[in-house]
Amino acid sequence: MTEELVVQGRRLRPADLDWIRGMLVAHPQWHRTQLSREICRSWAWKDERGRDKDMACRTMLLKLEGRGLLQLPARRGPSVNHRRSQAFAPVLHETRPVHGPLAEVVPITLRIAEKGPDQALWQTLLHLYHYLGFTTQVGKSLRYLGFDRQERPVAALLFGAAAWRVESRDLFIGWTGPQRRRNLSRVANNMRFLIPPWVRVPHLASHLLAQVARRISADWEHRYGHPLALLETFVETPRFTGTCYRAANWIGVGQTTGRTRNDVHKSIAAPIKRVMVYPLRADFRRLLQEE
């Protein structure tokens, strides 16, 4: 390799790859976690709170191996994601119909489904009722559960890391490649949004989106040490029309190209999706274009 690569938000020179290969040769006894921790330490690769970006580093190593650029040590056991998926078991939950006008179910309470019963319920709802299901999320994320005035579950949402490159979104923001690499962490992606099938309340979805928009930046900063400037989502067409997003003042900026982030050889076909964004503050472009 004679050119630079950008993998997992990290710019890699040929000398960086040679250094990693040298570490693998010099320390054949190291396991993958030990290697990623040493890379984080040597490169001072840390998040906004000063913690090693260990999971990002391990993902980078897997992508480099997938491209044939290095050979990692064999796994010493099942992956963490595999163990988590094996351990998951659905929990009992309320499924009695929730029908009627929004005025009869508000106020809606949003809780972060971080652990315990809320996390188990959140996983159950996504696993059983969302058409994409749910697999363990790696990296930054926030999970919300919505409950009505009677404490009945009426929604589950997931926000995670933004897509690395989306032409229509990037044109809307107006940032350069270096600006995107530097500030992408200020954008979060609404990856899942579920209203369970027994809930039929007009305007509930847009009400939830508006409620999340008012608090997610503060929640994100509390957990990860920095606020957000913009939300994004991808609405799969023609399965959905994005009506609730438009009603909550999200902006349609274009469409995806039908490729995924792992499509190195431009051969992976994915459904075309409508790209929608929601600025969380008036000066979002200034923040996202910072040098």
Q: Are residues 13 and 129 in the same domain?
A: no
* 34-47 per-position pLDDT tens digit: 888 889 888 888 87
Structure-block tokens of residue 208 = 């939830």
- Count Cβ atoms below 10 Å from residue 26 Cβ, excluding itself: 8
Residue with tokens 């058409």: 131
pLDDT at 44: 85
Q: Tell me: do 134 and 250 sit in the same domain.
A: yes
Same domain, 150 and 34: no
Closest CA to 158 of 216, 214, 105: 216
Do 72 and 193 lie in one domain? The reply is: no
Counting the structural domains of the chain, the total is 2
Domain shared by 139 and 273, yes or no: yes
Domain assignment present for residue 85? The answer is no
Peptide bond into 107 cis (omega under 30): yes
Structural contact between residues 5 and 180, judged by C-beta atoms closer than 8 angstroms: no
Are both 135 and 248 inside the same structural domain?
Answer: yes
The domain in which residue 31 lies consists of: 5-77
Please check whether residues 165 and 260 belong to one and the same domain.
yes
pLDDT classification of 270: cutoffs 50, 70, 90: low
Q: Of the residues 32, 59, 77, which one is the last residue of a structural domain?
A: 77
Whole-model pTM? 0.72
Q: How far is C-alpha 163 from the chain's CA centre?
A: 8
Q: How many CA atoms lie within 13 A of 144 on its CB side?
A: 26
Could you read off the pLDDT of 193-251 as tens digits, one per residue?
A: 999 999 999 999 999 999 999 999 999 999 999 999 999 999 998 888 899 999 999 99
90 within 8 A of 124, measured Cβ to Cβ:
yes
Same domain for 52 and 130, yes or no, is no
For residue 114, the SS3 value is coil
Whether residue 59 is predicted with pLDDT greater than 60 in this model: the reply is yes
Tens-digit pLDDT profile for residues 16-28: 888 898 888 888 8
- pLDDT beyond 70 at 266: no
Quick check: is 12 in a domain? yes
User: Angle CA(189)–CA(128)–CA(218) in degrees, nearest 5?
Assistant: 30
